[in-house]
Structure 1
Amino acid sequence: MIYSIQPWNFPVYQPVRVLAANLMAGNGVILKHASLCTGSGLMLRDVCVKAGLPKGLFDVVIVDHETSDAIIEHKLIRGVTMTGSDKAGRHIGQMATKNLKKSVLELGSNDAYMVLEDADIDLAVETCVQGRLYNNGETCVSAKRFVVTEAVYDAFTEAFVAQMKAIRLGDPTDDDTQLGPLSSVEQFETICEQVKESLDGGAALLCGGTAPDRVGQYYPATVLANCQPGTPAYDDEIFGPVAAIIKATDDADAMRIANDSRSGLGGGIFSRDEEKAVKLARDHFDTGMIRINSFGAADPNMPFGGVKNSGFGREHGGFGMMEFVNIKAVYRP
């Protein structure tokens, strides 16, 4: 039995990607969903029951953190998979290790998207705006830091800010809305504090940064430039529609800045020379998943996961299905 601890930002997809891979591997799954979306977990269980999934292969628990720890310790739990913050991941990873349980941890990141000297600027700007605002910016693998070489910095920044300023903030049920509210009061307050600390630390505000006077946890598309090490915009994951632009002297410096992070989940490289970009991604970019001249959240046929403080293990693809199986050797004369 695998214990699955999942976040709120993709309330059906997140538990499904764990459930699908493990059912195919022959494992049952117990889901503890985030407190913001327990109803999504219960709905998924009901769908599986109606579809004919045998009783006991998938169930949902609504429990506090102390009880969750006890579930990890239970003898029938053989593995633990979790997506969330690095703080929660450290605790859950320690609990699993203490009880000799295999774990897969996906812990978010401050993904760098590099715009190299030979980048197609129009493509880079359009893609980076999409990558930053996807799911209101509340995506672990979204584009967050934009490391732009000096040769194209002014052109990229001017166009990027113009597109971010034009984003329509509003009710997510309206057809014209491009950016909706954040998930909670807590998330809104965290974003406000991270932006303030980044500005106090030397960042420049190019657009956004002030929440509108309206009901709901709305935060505008925001761009910070001159982001400095030691501030949230440079070091941390900002889980909302806030972009951090960092100037690099050249392509080599851009790679240095991109790797200057305790995290490493995803990232991107924009260059007209795709072979060069692939070589940089393969040999030098210290992160788990890299997009060349594109953005995407996840592909079911490709392994999903990170390095460093972004966790370990993989979901999706054949790699994901093999995380919670054991190799058995049988010898015969």
Structure 2
Amino acid sequence: MFQSINPATGAKGERFAELDDVGIERALATAETAWRDWRVSPLDRRTALLDALADRFDANKRELAEIATREMGKTLKSAIAEVEKCVAGFRHFAENGPSFLEEETVPVPKGSATGRWLPIGPVLAIMPWNFPYWQVVRFMAPAIMAGNVGLLKHASITQGVAAAIEDMARQAGAPEGVFQNLAIRSDKVAGVIADDRVAAVTLTGSEGAGSKVAEAAGKALKKVVLELGGSDPFIVMPSADIEEAAKQAVTARVQNTGQSCICGKRMIVHADIHDAFMEKFAAGMKAVKAGDPMDEATDMGPLSSFDQRDTVLDQVDRAKQAGATLLFGAEKVGEAGAFLSAGILTDVPRDSDIAREELFGPVAMVFKVSDIDEAITLANDIPYGLGSSVWTTDDGERERFERDIAAGMTAVNQMLASAPQAPFGGVKKSGHGRELGPWGMHEFMNLKTVLAAE
């Protein structure tokens, strides 16, 4: 059984049954049967389902948000915003999906060649707890539009969210098997990937989980998309709007209690404006209020679990042992709950392990650099390459950052965020492949070449 635990109180919540081998077999058989029909379904039937899903999410957004808040601790207002983003995601693929599937014909020496986008089958999605609705929808919406069907293996701590998403699909009129919640633990994943009825795999999660899933998919010769960890640089140069950069840096670091793969985690600040930036950034971080995530006045909820809180505390301790200075914060808050106060680490040795790790909590590392070359070198001196945020009004600097930062995404003079329209993904140990937009839909489609004689 899966046990839900409220990280804000430590109280036990609902319990959810795990699928046994018989249940897994039934789900896979149902998915295969559903795909045989859905793969040839008219496009207007697919768009109608996406619009109906958007309607159901919108009509139930508060109830859905409350489940996420109870299970993983994000503030209710941010959970509602996440559900609203899901609505936008469904609408985007309903409106634009047909154009993503348009054929393209080019001349060849003996006639023409047409590229056709065709679905490939059931897609297994292994999704994390940090954005428990949005992470699912950004695979689910394009998969349905493409003519594929979805199998969701959600995180163990967000099984209530997983069940709610499946219920929304049922209420929206999804045919049986087009979307199923596969309530299994990680030790069952390799067997599901190996099953011939599963066509491909997408995972959002840790580097370790990505390695195991990639190995299983490789053995089965199946397509896999991996969106893994990140320790994103947030670079501030002298020409930037310092006040706005500092304000956005606070939001970037503490949104979702710092548990976002594309949070700005390493603040890399030019020496000329370092002190001015730090004054504003530190004041903003100190003002962050951690507390009851159901309270509208709360800025930041608890960590997703007590284990996650302790992991962050251990990382902070190791940073201090390596010679870093904890300016403030990173302290337990209250008598109950997995709360931490927002904090800042400085003087982190650049050759230390912690400088190259992902800190998945509300603690920032701040580094001072002398020029753009040092900023780029430091930004790239990690195993990850997911996102980045750069703050400059100098066109030459902007070009350098866009070209030379080894990351899948760079935001200029804004905090990095995902959008249904834009490709999302990373390089190096942050994974490979892309989600969202036509790029994400095409990851799990067969681009078939059709040759026609003159």
**Alignment TM-score, normalising by the size of structure 1:** 0.97
- Separation in structure 2 between the aligned mates of residue 228 and residue 307 of structure 1, nearest angstrom: 24
Instruction: State yes or no: 1:198 paired with 2:313.
Output: no
Matches within 5 A, 1:63-142: 63-142=184-263
- Separation in structure 2 between the aligned mates of residue 227 and residue 297 of structure 1, nearest angstrom: 26
CA contact (8 A) 2:388 2:416 kept: no
For 1:326, what is the secondary structure of its paired residue?
Answer: strand
What count of residue pairs does the alignment treat as equivalent?
A: 332
Q: Which has the higher helix share?
A: 2
Q: Deviations over 1:182-203 (max 9, x none)?
A: 1101101100000000111111
Question: Superposition RMSD on alpha carbons, in Å?
Answer: 1.2
- Separation in structure 2 between the aligned mates of residue 77 and residue 230 of structure 1, nearest angstrom: 43
- Separation in structure 1 between the aligned mates of residue 357 and residue 303 of structure 2, nearest angstrom: 18
Instruction: State yes or no: 1:293 paired with 2:378.
Output: no
Runs of 4+ in 1 over 6 A off after TM superposition: none
- Separation in structure 2 between the aligned mates of residue 213 and residue 228 of structure 1, nearest angstrom: 31
- Separation in structure 2 between the aligned mates of residue 278 and residue 317 of structure 1, nearest angstrom: 25
Q: Which has the larger radius of gyration?
A: 2
Amino acid at match of 1:299: A
- Separation in structure 1 between the aligned mates of residue 294 and residue 187 of structure 2, nearest angstrom: 37
For 2:203, what is the secondary structure of its paired residue?
Answer: strand
Q: Residue 396 of structure 2 aligns with which residue?
A: 276
- Separation in structure 1 between the aligned mates of residue 153 and residue 412 of structure 2, nearest angstrom: 35
CA contact (8 A) 2:333 2:340 kept: yes
Question: Per-residue deviation at 1:324?
Answer: 0.4
Question: Per-residue deviation at 1:82?
Answer: 0.2
Identity %: 39
Q: Residue 373 of structure 2 aligns with which residue?
A: 252
Question: Per-residue deviation at 1:116?
Answer: 1.2
For 1:243, what is the secondary structure of its paired residue?
Answer: strand
Question: Per-residue deviation at 1:233?
Answer: 4.0
- Separation in structure 2 between the aligned mates of residue 233 and residue 178 of structure 1, nearest angstrom: 26
For 1:80, what is the secondary structure of its paired residue?
Answer: strand
Question: Per-residue deviation at 1:332?
Answer: 3.3
- Separation in structure 2 between the aligned mates of residue 180 and residue 51 of structure 1, nearest angstrom: 31
- Separation in structure 2 between the aligned mates of residue 117 and residue 61 of structure 1, nearest angstrom: 50
Instruction: State yes or no: 1:159 paired with 2:280.
Output: yes
Correspondence for 1:15 among 127, 133, 136: 136
For 1:114, what is the secondary structure of its paired residue?
Answer: strand
Correspondence for 1:308 among 428, 431, 439: 428
Amino acid at match of 1:325: M
Gaps of 5+ in 2: 1-121
Comparing 228-237 with 13-22, which one deviates more in the overlay?
228-237
Q: Deviations over 1:59-103 (max 9, x none)?
A: 111112232110000001111000000001000011101100000
Amino acid at match of 1:173: M
Q: Residue 171 of structure 1 aligns with which residue?
A: 292
CA contact (8 A) 2:236 2:270 kept: yes
- Separation in structure 2 between the aligned mates of residue 286 and residue 272 of structure 1, nearest angstrom: 21
Comparing 171-180 with 1-10, which one deviates more in the overlay?
171-180
Correspondence for 1:42 among 163, 170, 193: 163
For 2:447, what is the secondary structure of its paired residue?
Answer: coil
Question: Per-residue deviation at 1:228?
Answer: 1.5
Comparing 113-122 with 135-144, which one deviates more in the overlay?
113-122
- Separation in structure 2 between the aligned mates of residue 286 and residue 136 of structure 1, nearest angstrom: 26
Amino acid at match of 1:3: L
- Separation in structure 1 between the aligned mates of residue 401 and residue 149 of structure 2, nearest angstrom: 36
**Alignment TM-score, normalising by the size of structure 2:** 0.71
- Separation in structure 1 between the aligned mates of residue 355 and residue 242 of structure 2, nearest angstrom: 22
Gaps of 5+ in 1: none
For 1:59, what is the secondary structure of its paired residue?
Answer: strand
